[in-house]
Amino acid sequence: MALYGYQEIRTPAFEATELFRRGVGEGTDIVNKEMYTFTDLGGKELTLCPELTAPVIRAYIENNMGAVTPISRLYYIDSLFRQERPQKGRLRQFHQFGAEAIGSPYPEQDVEIIALAFELCVSFAVGKVRVRLNTLGSPAHRGTYLEDLRGALTRYGDQLSELDRYRLENNPLRIFDSKDTHTQKIVAQYAPPLWDYISNEDREHFQSVRNGLEALKIPFEQDPSLVRGLDYYTRTTFEITSERLGAQDAICGGGRYDDLVEELGGKSVPAVGFATGIERLLLAAHERPKEVPLRQPLDIFLVFEPEPASATAIRLAQRLRQNGYSVVMETLRRSIKAQFREANRLGAHWTLILGGKEMAAGRVEIKEMLTGTQKTVSLESIFSSSRGYKQILKSFSL
């Protein structure tokens, strides 16, 4: 995330149920049958978050984040809850890693988000993935399409399940989410192609997104049936699937949602984002992530003899941390040899040694682990408040 300039956001575990009804949409599977909803003692209806785009936008509006910067790049890692039948890759409590870029209407932003999601999958070595891409156009032009879709499919209404008839009547786009194979056949055969209803601006936007992905050599395929199961999408939608997963093969999904901020009570601000299912990412990853460092680099390991150096060592570690160094100090009172082994295990850049001899001389020994170069510095110079910071830095340039 740091490579792409995204900052972490944390939102509460539950939100007002109304947020998801309005954000994700009545008629979606999530809102209709998957939310864990309860009433608190004050009679408020609350829901354990089933997704985080709506909560992030709620927080964005409430904290007036748009006033601070015209573009907010945010990411999250969190637990989510959906009442679904558990199976491989589908859990009732699961985890998502996601990113939302709020503020830009331009295709570069769609490309950045898709590239970020794609690179993440690649870095986890998830095998062969497919990027499916579609555009839903702008909702302003969707009215005619929805009318025609309803008109075309209502003829087959008596062949549809009660739920699918409800979808067709109240939220026709959601008919594409149907898991009923008969409905799927009818939709494939008789639904008018959404692409025919897309405006020229929407087509141009889509073309620019495709060009950007081609420039990055990210392979993708256009899939006109990819409407995604949440109501907020406008224009671009995408999903990344892995051949290593079974029926639940989507590692991540996302898209543009230019109207959500306004629908939830904010100004009209465009946005695009994605979320990755962490459990699915791990299921698909055979190897460990390649480029991701598995541990934080450690600046200093502080080796010391408790008698007589304990109090000084504690102060020294604090002083170094106050100056921005990461420091681990021995707390198991192991032998000096064992402490050095630990410094090596942790990959410390420097080891500071504070034994009886050093204490007596009022000095500390600094060793650069990679080169073995050693240097002695007076404790006084490290602790002296005025010159402390510079002196410490100078002491370490061995």
Q: Please give the residue ranges that form the binding site for ligand HAM (CB under 6 A).
A: 51-53, 82, 84, 89-91, 94, 96, 98, 100, 230, 250-255, 257, 273-275, 277, 279-280
Q: Cβ of residue 270: shortest distance to ligand HAM, in angstroms? A: 12
In degrees and rounded to multiples of 5, residue 241 shows phi and psi of -115, 155
Which residue has the closest beta carbon to ligand HAM?
277
Identity of the residue, 250 or 346, whose beta carbon is nearer to ligand HAM in the bound complex? 250
Burial class of residue 357, CB neighbours in 10 A (0-12, 13-18, 19+): exposed
Identity of the residue, 7 or 373, whose beta carbon is nearer to ligand HAM in the bound complex? 7
Q: Cβ of residue 142: shortest distance to ligand HAM, in angstroms? A: 18
Identity at 123, one-letter amino acid code: S
Residue 11 in tokens = 């939102």
Q: How far is CA 162 from the centre of its chain?
A: 36
Identity of the residue, 142 or 235, whose beta carbon is nearer to ligand HAM in the bound complex? 235
Q: Cβ of residue 164: shortest distance to ligand HAM, in angstroms? A: 20
Cβ within 8 Å of residue 343, ≥6 positions away: 301, 303, 351, 369
Q: Cβ of residue 22: shortest distance to ligand HAM, in angstroms? A: 14
Identity of the residue, 177 or 330, whose beta carbon is nearer to ligand HAM in the bound complex? 177
CB 122: neighbour CB atoms within 10 A?
15
Identity of the residue, 99 or 379, whose beta carbon is nearer to ligand HAM in the bound complex? 99
Q: Cβ of residue 152: shortest distance to ligand HAM, in angstroms? A: 27
Q: Cβ of residue 357: shortest distance to ligand HAM, in angstroms? A: 58
Q: Cβ of residue 326: shortest distance to ligand HAM, in angstroms? A: 33
Identity at 79, one-letter amino acid code: S
Identity of the residue, 241 or 395, whose beta carbon is nearer to ligand HAM in the bound complex? 241
Identity of the residue, 89 or 172, whose beta carbon is nearer to ligand HAM in the bound complex? 89
Q: Cβ of residue 30: shortest distance to ligand HAM, in angstroms? A: 7
Identity of the residue, 130 or 375, whose beta carbon is nearer to ligand HAM in the bound complex? 130
